[in-house]
Structures are given as structure tokens and as C-alpha cells.
A and B are shown apart, each in its own frame.
Chain A
Amino acid sequence: MLLEQIINGITLGSIYAIIALGFTLVFGVLGIINMAHGEIFMVGAFVGVTATGILGWPLWLAFIAAIVVTSILGYLLERFTLRPLRGKKGVSHLAPLISTIGVSILLENLSHHIFGAGNKPFNTSFSQISITIGSITIYLVQIVIFIISILLMIGLTIWLSKTKAGKALRATADNLETASILGVDTKKIIILTVVVASAIGGIAGILVGMAFNSVSPQMGLSMGLKGLAIIILGGMGNVKGAMVGGLILGLSETMLVAYGDSGYRDAIAFIMIIVILLLRPQGIFGSKVSQERR
């Protein structure tokens, strides 16, 4: 029983971690909290539902469709909401936050109009396959989710530390002006960051659809909030922190559902935000410097 709950918690935590990655990537490079990330993730989930359920596509094609659609959304987000604000004089640091809130309610209500308010089932024969070891049942989906999230983490870490684009990205994150003087095409790097973050969000969307078997326009907000809680917990702009923070939140929520009042599981993320802000505002893996730099 406990082991099964731990497995459920790790699955949930992996999904949260992937969502948090999208936030952390954009925050690390641009210093912006992308409030629309939760809704981009939700769109990814709906693309998955449409592709597998209505169009009857195989799952791998649904993944590609979700990645393509969310990447395009990411590009549009950068082009029309973030770029006009960049480098403009007298724009408060809250402007991008407000502007991405605008995108988030736009996307949520658009999908509300298109798909309706209720939950949509995510039907794949894939999500029914399970393995039983002794008294424990593990769904294949859970293993897939865990493996995908680990692969994403490793891939992202290698990409950031070893490749030329990753180095350029870190240089841009460190100091935009210096990076552009040293010959980094910062405009391209910023587009790349937002697109990659959105594509990761799209992948998370399909995974959530498979794991919970339901998709709704409102899921973007609650998942987005959890992603934000995780990056505060793990440290803003920190990839390792996103993974650990995601697992902590996933495990504690699963434990609360199993042994406490399931109605309050959404409250954990918030309590975590307040406690972390009081005790260690820079997050578990954050450094003091990144906290002071706004």
C-alpha cells in the first residue's frame, strides 16, 4: 500500500517537475514568470485528446502534434507579448507578468469555447496496461512518465552544459548585454528558450492526460500554480531544484490524499510557498545572489 502510494507520488512528482522545468527555463533566461505556461500545458493536453480520441492517431503522433502546437504557441507568446516589452524604457518589471496573465486567460477561455467546460476523457488502450508484482500494481504509463521526465532532465542538463546553443543560453541568462557583445544572437536564444519551454509544457500536457485520464480547460491554472510553487521551493531558474521540488510536492500530495483529506491537496502548494518564503526565500538549491537580482 505504502509502496504503491510512493510510486503514485513519484509519477505525479515527475509531471510536476516537467511543468516546473518550463517555468524555470524562462525565468532563468528572461527573469520573467511566464503565467501562460500552465495554459500552454493545457493546450498540449487538449491536442493529445483531439489527436488520439477524435482523430484516432497513434500516441507517438499525438506527442509530435502536441509538441508542434505548443512550440508555435511559445513562438507567438514570445513574438507578441514578451518581445514588445523588452528593451522598452519605463516598462515596469510587472508588465510581462500582467501580459502573460492576459495570454493565460485568453487561452483558457478559448479552449473553454472550443471544447466545453467539462472534463474530457483521454482514451488510449496504452493507459490500461499494468504490471502486478505481489500486491502492487504499476501502470505502464507511470513507468513511461518517470522515464520521460528523467530523460528530459538529463537531456536538458547536457544540452545546457555541453552544446553551443546551451552555452549561449546560459550566457544570455547571465547577462544579456555582455552575451550579445560577445556575438551571441540573444534574440534567437530567447525565442529558442520560450519555444523549448513551451514544447516541454506540451509533453507534460499529454503525460497528465494519460496519467489522470481527464483533461479540462481549468487544469492549466492549478497545474501552473503548482509549477510556480515548485520553482520557489527548488530555487528560481534551477533545473535540479525543479526535479527535487516536483518530487517533494508530488509525494506530499499523494500522502495527503492517501492518509488525510483529499479536498485540501491543492492547498499544499500554497503552504509550501509561504513556508519557503519565510525560511529560505532563495529556495533549496538557489543561491543568495539570484534572489537579490530581480
Chain B
Amino acid sequence: MLGEILNTYYLQIGSFILINIMLAISVYVPLSSGQLSLGSAGFMGVGAYTSALLTIHFDLPIVIGIIAGALAASALGVIVGIPSLRLSGVYLAIATLGLGEVIRVIFVNWDSLTRGSVGLTGIPQLGREILEFARGVGFEPAMIGIKNNQFVFLSIFLVLLVLVIVILWFVVRQQNSRVGRALSSINLDEKAAESMGINITYYKVISFTQGAFFAGLAGALFAHVIGYISPADFSYHRAVEVLIFTVFGGSEVIIGSVFGAFFLTLMPEVLRFVSEFRYIIYGILLVVLMAVRPQGILDANLLKKIKFKRSKGGIR
């Protein structure tokens, strides 16, 4: 019965949505301290290539590859973040934009390692490994009435879902902690925050590095879900796309990033004709949003209204 419900196509779109949510969070976290990062595609690429190369050449388990990819991205985040974060957010935007392009240039030119613009193929796939592992402990997908490939897509989806929930939990917890309050005070007024004794460079680097970590993690997962990566996957367009997820959905609340990634990943799938003009629509969307609703679709006020209505309904 489960076998009839599970559609691998839907599961795959679901997985893409989850990866995009991670990416959107990687922009949201630095943005919540007033830092605009345009390097998410670059960090994603570093995570993806690190993990893919480690697992292909050294036969490391995927888990270790993914962790290494995310750490490599965050190390790069620290290196780029410290010089640019001492200055205003504009410098960071330029430096990260440059970083993204340089990383892509390196991927294209470092032929011996990255196979240039052709890209890497034969990356171990997360779903297959899980299937083998499950078989190793004596579990067959047929036991719960689904086919092997359904199991593969389902397991990827579930792993990503758990990871996204953990990340969301972490970010929400952090927002209500001392670090989170420091970050939002920097976002509201840097000078005032500094005069209150907050080490703004330290906290900015923290939030920026977390963004790099999430982007690297998403990139590494992307590599092992798709099984094939090329420099074109990590271009400036990807960075802008991720930025739009967050800015469209709502850059002031975490649920905005989730909504933005969900809606804008699903839209081109549902409306096929849209996908050809996707970037043109994105461009217009950014301009209109900034002029009309710079905080994005969802903000704290709207959420409050929705909650208020719900609780009224609950009393009845």
C-alpha cells in the first residue's frame, strides 16, 4: 500500500526543497545580523567538491565526506569573513560575490582535480549507501511493501528532513539565546551594539561562518543526492536564487526562508512555462519586493495575525 502512495518524482522535488531550505537558512543567518552574503553558491561548491573528491578518491564514508565539506566551507568563511566583516555590510557583499566567482574559476581551471567544466561524475549516492546499509542489517525494502528505488528516494528525503529540522531547531534556539540577542542588536544598530560592549566583529564572524557551514552542508548533500556536479551548479545565479528564497519569503523570520525556498522551488515545477523565464521573474520580484515589502512576504506582524486568528478558532 505504501508502495502506491510513494511517487519518486514528488520525493525528489521534496528533497530539492529541503536542500534549498538549508541554503535559504545559510543566507538568513548572516542576514539576521545585517550581513549580506552573495557567496552561498561558492560555499556550496566547496562543500560539494570537498565531499565528492574525498569519497571518490579515498573511499571515505559519505557521512565523513559531508562533515568535511561543511567544515571546509566554514573554514573558508572565516578566512574571507574576518577581513571584510571589520567593515560595513557592503564590503562583505562584494568580497563574497568575488569569492563565489573565484571558486567557480578554480573549479573550471583545476582540471587534474575537478575535471574542469565537465564536472565530477560517479559520486557515491546517499540513497544507495543507505539501501546497502539497510540490507546489511537484514532489512529489505520489500518488507514494508516498496520498491528499491522508492526506498532510495524515501530515505534521502527522510535524512534531509531530519537535518533541516535539526538546523531549524538550532537556529531558533540560538535566536533566543545571548548570541541571538547580540546578533539582532547588531542588525538594528551596529554602533549602539558596540557601545553596549558587544564584540561586533566576533559575532558577525560567528553568524557569517554559520551561514558558510550550512551552505557547505547543503552543497555536500546536493552532491551525494544528485551524484553529479559541475562548476555551473555553483554560479552567481545560484547565489542570487538562494538570496531570493530568503528575501521573498521574509528575511526577518526564520519561517520566511522556509516558505520562500518551498514556494519558489515548487513554482517552476507546477508551472512549467514559468521555468524558462525564471530569472527574469526573479529579477522583477526583487525590485518590486524591495520597493513594496522589503521585509518579504512573511514578517513578525503577519505571523502574529495568523496566530491570533488560530487561537481564536481554538477557543471556539
**Which residues of A line the B interface, CB within 8 A?**
33, 80-81, 84-85, 90-99, 101-110, 113, 221-222, 225, 228-229, 232, 261, 263-264, 266-267, 269-271, 273-274, 277-278, 281, 291, 294
Contact in complex: B99, A109 (CB < 8 Å):
no
Instruction: Find chain A residues with CB under 8 A from B38 CB.
Output: 101
B240 within 8 A of A: yes
Select one of B279, B286, B291 contacting A109, CB under 8 A. B279
Q: A102-B286, A104-B283, A291-B87 are in contact. List 15 more A-B contacts (CB 8 A).
A: A80-B291, A97-B93, A101-B243, A102-B282, A102-B285, A105-B283, A106-B283, A109-B279, A221-B101, A266-B105, A270-B95, A270-B98, A270-B99, A273-B95, A281-B91
The smallest beta-carbon distance between A97 and chain B, in angstroms, is 6
Indicate which residue in A96, A261, A271 contacts B290 across the interface (CB closer than 8 Å): A96
Q: What residues of chain A lie closer than 8 Å to B287, measured between beta carbons?
A: 80-81, 99, 102-103, 106
Whether A274 contacts B285 in the complex (CB less than 8 A), given A81-B291, A225-B101, A267-B105, comes out as no
B84 touches A277 (CB 8 A): yes
- Once bound together, how far apart are the Cα atoms of A277 and B99, in whole Å? 13
User: Can you list 8 contacts pairing A with B, beta carbon distance less than 8 Å?
Assistant: A84-B291, A99-B287, A99-B290, A102-B284, A106-B279, A113-B277, A267-B102, A270-B102
**A98 and B290 form a contact (CB under 8 A):** yes
Interface residues in B67-114 by Cβ distance below 8 A to A read 80, 83-84, 86-91, 93-95, 97-99, 101-102, 105-106, 108-109
- How distant is the Cα of A263 from the Cα of B108 in the complex, in angstroms? 8
**Chain A CB within 8 A of B181 CB:** no
Once bound together, how far apart are the Cα atoms of A271 and B38, in whole Å? 16
Q: Of all chain A residues, which has the CB nearest B244? A: A102
Say yes or no: B237 contacts A93, CB within 8 Å.
Answer: no
Determine the chain B residues whose CB is within 8 A of the CB of A104 once the complex forms: 283
Encoded as 1 (CB less than 8 Å from any A CB) or 0, chain B from 266 to 304 comes to: 000000000001011011111100110010000000000
Query: How far is B276's CA from A110's CA once the two chains are assembled, in angstroms?
Result: 11
Question: Does B243 lie within 8 Å of A277, measured CB to CB?
Answer: no
Complex contact B105–A263 (CB within 8 A) = yes
Q: Distance (Å) between the CB of A33 and the closest chain B CB? A: 5
How many residues of chain B get a CB closer than 8 Å to chain A's CBs? 42
Which B positions have Cβ atoms within 8 angstroms of A?
31, 34, 36, 38, 80, 83-84, 86-91, 93-95, 97-99, 101-102, 105-106, 108-109, 236-237, 240, 243, 247, 277, 279-280, 282-287, 290-291, 294
**Contact of B93 with A270 in the complex, beta carbons under 8 Å:** no
Which applies to chain A's interface (DSSP): helix, strand, loop or mixed? helix
**Interface contact A33-B283, CB-CB below 8 Å:** no
B240 and A105 within 8 A (CB): yes
| CA distance in complex: A221, B94 (Å) | 12
